[in-house]
């Protein structure tokens, strides 16, 4: 095997695979190196939500592009990725949050997102089984969506391989150095050379960065999730309850309810174990919001990582080591950000130019700001 590549991508989650997919059509010699199997990190553990309801113009613009890319996948890949626009319904149970929603909705509307601030009564019309006790208002965007991560990874994998890109699985990268070009060493001793490298190893990106002297502000946290068995479809949007004992969940096209909550306090580290408290808690929280769920049967429970940054936005940029790029720190929205980040990063790696303003995701930005809807 000739082990010299134009571009090597470390990590085969949605970020690495989307970037590789867009690079693969550009007549370059490309390799994706994945430690386990494609999607085995955070991507296969996510719940598939896609929303445009962010608080900064850059994130909103990127999510508008993402929505378009997700909606085109069925035609592009030749099979359904279970993309469905059932909306996102964000509930405010206090005045402070309602104020945040008001400001965000204004910014989102300026960016052309079909979103509105609605009353509790209107929320009840959208989800008739919703308990709106204590709901002061809600932000609702009917165009927000869901899709199935595994099918999307399959589409990217087939596209990359069809275009001649190579995908190595079961091959952890254990060393990364730069001389004239990059030298990548795998656990089995294989050595790979590449002119450019993208670090897209999700929560592990910080550790790989350290090998080559980068100190990336990425802090993994454990998040748990669950799925029920199938039920007749009875609501469409992702319901998001931001109370400290809230949760978020949606009903898939195939009828299962899939959901999570953000633990308080957070659980730092890359962990894939689950806690005994999660299921009783999420069951209680979901039934409080949708009492009809009291007879739902939970099928499975798992955990994965959110890769947090100090301001809740990803780091997508070239590092201070020339030709070494990073796309990581995706918080709870790397799945929905993936396709457009991949498309824009691919263009940036080839041309040195961003197609849209990416300063919000710069590696040397001031991290003191905050994405209000993490």
Ligand X SMILES: Cc1cc2nc3c(=O)[nH]c(=O)nc-3n(C[C@H](O)[C@H](O)[C@H](O)COP(=O)(O)OP(=O)(O)OC[C@H]3O[C@@H](n4cnc5c(N)ncnc54)[C@H](O)[C@@H]3O)c2cc1C
Look at residues 323, 331, 339 and name the one whose alpha carbon lies nearest to residue 361. Answer: 331
Residue 302 sits at φ, ψ, to 5 deg, of: -150, 180
Under rule CB under 6 A, residue 310 binds ligand X: no
Tokens 């808690």 label which residue? 281
Q: According to CB under 6 A, which residues from 230 to 269 bind ligand X? A: 260
Q: Which is nearer to ligand X, 159 or 334 (CB)?
A: 334
Stretch that binds ligand X, among 53-61, 64-72, 152-160, 302-310 (CB under 6 A): 302-310
Applying CB under 6 A, which of residues 225, 293, 326, 373 lies at the interface with ligand X?
A: 225
The answer to whether 36 contacts ligand X (rule: CB under 6 A) is: yes
Contact in structure between 252 and 48 (CB atoms under 8 Å): yes
By CB under 6 A, residue 332 contacts ligand X = yes
Q: Is 86 in the site for ligand X (CB under 6 A)?
A: no
DSSP E strand stretches across the chain: 4-10, 30-33, 49-50, 88-92, 116-118, 137-141, 145-146, 166-168, 173-178, 182-186, 191-199, 219-228, 238-241, 248-251, 257-260, 298-308, 315-318, 324-328
**Under 8 Å CB-to-CB from 237, ≥6 apart: which residues?**
86, 87, 88, 89, 126, 127, 140, 142, 144, 250
Scored b (16 or more CB within 10 A) or e, 228-259 reads beeeeeebbbbbbbbbeebbbbbbbbeebbbb
- Nearer to ligand X by Cβ, of 120 and 197: the residue is 197
- Judged by beta carbon, residue 42 or residue 52, the one nearer ligand X is 42
Helix axes 57-77, 95-110, angle to 10 degrees: 70
CB of 192 to ligand X, least distance (A): 11
Reference 227, options 290, 269, 286; nearest CA is: 286
Q: Which is nearer to ligand X, 61 or 333 (CB)?
A: 333
Least distance to ligand X from the beta carbon of 315, Å? 11
Among 5, 9, 11, 126, binds ligand X (CB under 6 A): 11
Binds ligand X by CB under 6 A, chosen from 89, 330, 346, 349: 330
Among 7, 8, 9, 14, binds ligand X (CB under 6 A): 14
Per-residue binding letters, 167-206, with ligand X (x by CB under 6 A): -----xx--------------------------xxxxx--
Nearer to ligand X, 59 or 104 (CB): 59
User: Strands 116-118 and 298-308: what pairing?
Assistant: unpaired
Q: Are 151 and 81 in contact (CB under 8 A)?
A: yes
Contacts with ligand X in 38-57 (CB under 6 A)?
40-43, 45-49
And the tokens for 167?
């995908």
| Site residues (CB under 6 A) for ligand X, limited to 131-160 | none
| Nearest CB to ligand X, comparing residues 98 and 168 | 168
Among 87, 209, 304, 339, binds ligand X (CB under 6 A): 304
- Nearest distance from residue 337's CB to ligand X, in Å? 6
CB of 293 to ligand X, least distance (A): 19
CB of 346 to ligand X, least distance (A): 14
Query: In this chain, which stretch among 1-9, 155-163, 300-308, 359-367 interacts with ligand X, using CB under 6 A?
Result: 300-308
Closest CA to 63 of 23, 22, 18, 113: 113
Residue number, 137 or 342, with CB nearest to ligand X: 342
The answer to whether 42 and 13 are in contact (CB under 8 A) is yes
Cis status of the peptide bond prior to 265, with omega within 30 of 0: yes
How far is residue 304 from each of residues 47, 69, 92, 161, measured CA to CA in Å? 11, 25, 27, 28
Number of residues that bind ligand X (CB under 6 A): 41
| Chain positions contacting ligand X, by CB under 6 A | 10-16, 33-36, 40-43, 45-49, 172-173, 200-204, 208, 223, 225, 260, 304-306, 328, 330, 332-336
């Amino acid at each position: 095997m000739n082990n010299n590549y134009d571009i090597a991508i470390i990590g085969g989650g949605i970020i690495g695979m989307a970037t590789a997919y867009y690079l693969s059509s550009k007549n370059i010699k490309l390799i994706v190196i994945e430690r386990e199997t494609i999607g085995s990190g955070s991507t296969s553990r996510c719940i598939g939500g896609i929303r445009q309801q962010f608080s900064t113009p850059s994130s909103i613009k990127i999510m508008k592009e993402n929505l378009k890319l997700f909606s085109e996948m069925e035609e592009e890949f030749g099979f359904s990725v279970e993309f469905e626009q059932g909306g996102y319904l964000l509930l405010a149970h206090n005045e402070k949050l309602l104020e945040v929603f008001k400001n965000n909705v204004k910014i989102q509307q300026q960016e052309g997102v079909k979103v509105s601030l609605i009353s509790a009564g209107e929320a009840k019309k959208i989800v008739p089984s919703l308990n709106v006790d204590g709901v002061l208002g809600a932000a609702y965007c009917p165009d927000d969506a869901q899709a199935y991560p595994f099918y999307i990874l399959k589409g990217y994998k087939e596209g990359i391989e069809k275009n001649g890109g190579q995908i190595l699985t079961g091959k952890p990268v254990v060393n990364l150095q730069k001389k004239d070009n990059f030298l990548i060493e795998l656990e089995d001793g294989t050595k790979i050379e590449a002119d450019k490298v993208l670090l897209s190893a999700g929560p592990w990106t910080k550790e790989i960065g350290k090998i080559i002297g980068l100190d990336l502000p990425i802090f993994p946290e454990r998040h748990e999730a669950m799925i029920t068995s199938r039920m007749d479809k009875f609501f469409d949007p992702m319901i998001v309850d931001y109370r400290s004992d809230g949760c978020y969940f949606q009903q898939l096209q195939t009828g299962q309810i899939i959901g999570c909550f953000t633990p308080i306090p957070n659980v730092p580290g890359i962990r894939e174990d689950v806690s005994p408290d999660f299921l009783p808690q999420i069951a209680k929280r979901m039934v409080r919001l949708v009492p009809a769920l009291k007879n739902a049967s939970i099928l499975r429970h798992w955990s994965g990582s959110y890769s947090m940054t100090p301001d809740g936005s990803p780091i997508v940029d070239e590092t201070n080591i020339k030709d070494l790029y990073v796309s990581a720190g995706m918080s709870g929205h790397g799945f929905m950000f993936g396709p457009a980040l991949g498309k824009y990063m691919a263009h940036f790696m080839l041309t040195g130019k961003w197609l849209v303003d990416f300063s919000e995701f710069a590696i040397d930005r001031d991290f003191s700001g905050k994405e209000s809807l993490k």
